[in-house]
Structure 1
């Protein structure tokens, strides 16, 4: 894995060099602008490597603010974000970064002038299929953060792209994922794929799994469509992520450049600890995952930071408690894994769908299998402790409150993927999280979305105004995205 990753990073640098050459017009200055040592062929393998690397960082699965919203972590020094001070956030990095690279992969493999040359990095259809699946994944993250966003006119050179409704975006994401899965042609394996090694079967499982995640997002706003799309993905012959061997998990490298962002967060700084909310939830059910997910302090105890304290109270608490629990060793190691989609998450999604009557599967069987998959993912599975855990009244579906327990288990299983956990919490309301009493936003509630980039108010005003007009409550983080109905 390390060798493959390193080669792919080098390819990324070659791709960037090629793009710089391509942006010039050699004919203007004879051969002056031609570098005889630079590649004249786009290195799509490098672009793909770069995108997958970005998917495992702040763009999707490692960002502290949503981890604060779902109360996985708490601030130790500067509590502004956990008091909900952030309103607007910039989505430009998604469009100029991973989405731009993915569109270029599609363009290079489609354009008659380049498709033959880039086929050396994998068949054209296979490269396009992977790029379309990843585009759908990134657009899902973007629309779930902001709601209506540029989509149909994005990445096409429009200086002021319109904002598509989230409903329309979701409809197209379902289409894209289905068509992309069907596009794999059995040709040459795609290079630069540091997630699945070019394995088309695993990419199809990833696409079907993402379809299930998207389908469940519609559980409140459009359950009819949600049920249909979920059943379609579940019935697909390629299958979905159901065992840890199929996890979409990114392995970081034990070096400064490509280490886990969680390892980097504690390199010379100590701004966050695990929240008391998360620690207490695991302790209340004697959860065997606790030692892997949360580190003990030197006394041998777990001590979470009280969630949502304002600065004076926080400084007072940390002054009295200079040690507090950090995320566990499997998370903060430089070469740990970042989970994009896991078996535990998908099995819990299937359990919820079954509980809602969307499928004929057995909710309890899937729920218990999900917990086992999570235990195995974090290296804590033991038959005796597992049996005791799933039989306990606070966990067993037999004791009632099935949807609440499924939602709570998904919250635990997703840790520390704050973006996905935040989306699931907004949709289901589980677990029941209490906002900080020191909130500075108008509603005093946990944010429901990010406000649009402030630059859009001038650079893309007409389309921005149209999107804001569709928001109940305006462009605030208290407004709700389409699927997040009350």
Structure 2
């Protein structure tokens, strides 16, 4: 079915093998490669520093999908899916590059082969409009076939459409209008949102050889994959047992007499250290490697694209910023609890968590010390707590989702060493975007040139600042 193919092509990891999957996890500083040759993704560059409009080719299939459904009881549902997917593609593209085609995207069959680049502000606005329309279509629809994400459950798709609107508005928080903030509050107050982990938008792996976890059978790669100092220290600070689900103890600490359940046996790798030194230190057993469970099962951890937890943290931040009324502490706690419950109930963990399993008693007593919501601290203190927990959701997910949030908030602070950064234009700054696909210069040259002239003074560079970050 067209719906199945589009969803599979969109949400499966782009090249599901251990080498590429680890590379795809480097930008958000959850893991570090411990190899002599530096991986560009660890040092703020890429083997391919370009964005892509490839997903837009699926818009034609989505149009055919809705045409085939016309007159059937599934018509509204497939219309909703078409609009949601276009919004998803546009959101990804605009965060990657800046101004992008949107209003004229996917219209080649109507003769538009050189679509205009819409201003990023307009792209965000149209994405929000399409998500709102998609939610209305799903509300009119019935459960449908071909859906590998939600099993065709229109109720869950409705909730996701609303939650995604919150994410889109908050992602452009530096530029959000008063009307958009009011819309954010209206969506929260209407309450038709995710209510728990059952609503998580995720890709589930299986023991089907065509649908297995990308890191499966990647032991050789795992032995050169460290959990970062940023992650290990954050989890230690919170007394957060996810550490034992994510990592192995450092061999040097075990050799020194510590046990696998000892917090001090876990040592993170400094992701900005020179690759040669990281490799040498790894040979000495200095760092905690990725947990062995990640390579042991074909049907391993699902890839989380949007979770109830993230929704909670989005709303908690908005309450702190005065966008909507509510109890930020409750949203923060609900978000954390949901993530802890997710790992507590995750299969294939029993023999891999080093005697430090997450259970209900642990969750009930989690919010102490640094994990307790800083009600007597500053707003910045509380936002840092929210942003840290939101960042931890994406540990080894391969979805790349948190980097725009880091660019927006600056927290947690990603390590940057100008002497090891591979950023070719300025090693002292974080890249803000990818360059436009090279073939745009021949396929759509006038609109391409207009976009870089108007946004970036004619230079299509990775450190140029797109509208949503200004």
TM-score under structure 2 length normalisation: 0.83
Counterpart selection for 1:213 from 167, 188, 196: 167
Counterpart selection for 1:254 from 176, 182, 207: 207
Task: Report the equivalent of 2:348.
Answer: none
Counterpart selection for 1:83 from 25, 43, 68: 43
Task: Report the equivalent of 2:373.
Answer: 396
- TM superposition shift of 1:90: 4.1
Does structure 2 retain, via aligned residues, the 8 Å contact 1:330–1:378? no
Query: CA 1:223 to 1:388, structure 2 compared with 1: closer, same or farther past 3 Å?
Result: farther
Q: Does residue 113 of structure 2 align to residue 162 of structure 1?
A: no
- TM superposition shift of 1:328: 6.5
Counterpart selection for 1:72 from 5, 30, 38: 30
- TM superposition shift of 1:430: 1.2
Q: Does residue 345 of structure 2 align to residue 345 of structure 1?
A: no
Tell me how far apart the structure 2 counterparts of residues 146 and 427 of structure 1 sit (CA, whole Å): 15
Task: Report the equivalent of 1:426.
Answer: 407
Does structure 2 retain, via aligned residues, the 8 Å contact 1:174–1:211? yes
- TM superposition shift of 1:381: 4.8
Q: Secondary structure at the match of 2:435?
A: coil
Task: Report the equivalent of 1:406.
Answer: 386
Tell me how far apart the structure 2 counterparts of residues 171 and 372 of structure 1 sit (CA, whole Å): 33
Query: CA 1:220 to 1:234, structure 2 compared with 1: closer, same or farther past 3 Å?
Result: same
Unpaired runs of 5+ in structure 2?
Answer: 255-259, 345-356
Q: Secondary structure at the match of 1:390?
A: coil
Task: Report the equivalent of 1:306.
Answer: 270
Does structure 1 retain, via aligned residues, the 8 Å contact 2:51–2:96? no
Q: Secondary structure at the match of 2:279?
A: helix
Query: CA 1:328 to 1:372, structure 2 compared with 1: closer, same or farther past 3 Å?
Result: farther
TM-score under structure 1 length normalisation: 0.80
Query: CA 1:185 to 1:432, structure 2 compared with 1: closer, same or farther past 3 Å?
Result: closer
Tell me how far apart the structure 2 counterparts of residues 256 and 319 of structure 1 sit (CA, whole Å): 33
Does structure 2 retain, via aligned residues, the 8 Å contact 1:150–1:164? yes
Tell me how far apart the structure 1 counterparts of residues 160 and 336 of structure 2 sit (CA, whole Å): 20
Does structure 2 retain, via aligned residues, the 8 Å contact 1:352–1:406? yes
- TM superposition shift of 1:327: 4.8
- TM superposition shift of 1:184: 3.2
Tell me how far apart the structure 2 counterparts of residues 340 and 129 of structure 1 sit (CA, whole Å): 18
Task: Report the equivalent of 1:456.
Answer: 440
- TM superposition shift of 1:436: 3.2
- After superposition, the C-alpha distances for 1:91-145 in whole angstroms (9 at most, x for unaligned) are 133223x444333323444xxxxx35xx4xx611111112211221222122111
Q: Secondary structure at the match of 2:206?
A: coil
Task: Report the equivalent of 1:321.
Answer: 285
Task: Report the equivalent of 1:130.
Answer: 81
- Over the residues paired in the alignment, what is the CA RMSD in angstroms? 2.7
Does structure 2 retain, via aligned residues, the 8 Å contact 1:216–1:226? no
Aligned residue-pair number: 428
Query: CA 1:149 to 1:328, structure 2 compared with 1: closer, same or farther past 3 Å?
Result: farther
- TM superposition shift of 1:236: 3.5
Tell me how far apart the structure 2 counterparts of residues 275 and 107 of structure 1 sit (CA, whole Å): 48
- After superposition, the C-alpha distances for 1:196-223 in whole angstroms (9 at most, x for unaligned) are 1211111100100101111111211225
- TM superposition shift of 1:419: 2.1
Unpaired runs of 5+ in structure 1?
Answer: 1-45, 110-114
Tell me how far apart the structure 2 counterparts of residues 50 and 212 of structure 1 sit (CA, whole Å): 27
Bigger mean CA offset, 314-323 vs 86-95: 314-323
Tell me how far apart the structure 2 counterparts of residues 277 and 135 of structure 1 sit (CA, whole Å): 35
- After superposition, the C-alpha distances for 1:243-294 in whole angstroms (9 at most, x for unaligned) are 1111112211123321122336x26534533222212221222112212233
Query: CA 1:316 to 1:471, structure 2 compared with 1: closer, same or farther past 3 Å?
Result: farther
Does structure 2 retain, via aligned residues, the 8 Å contact 1:254–1:334? yes
- TM superposition shift of 1:376: 0.4
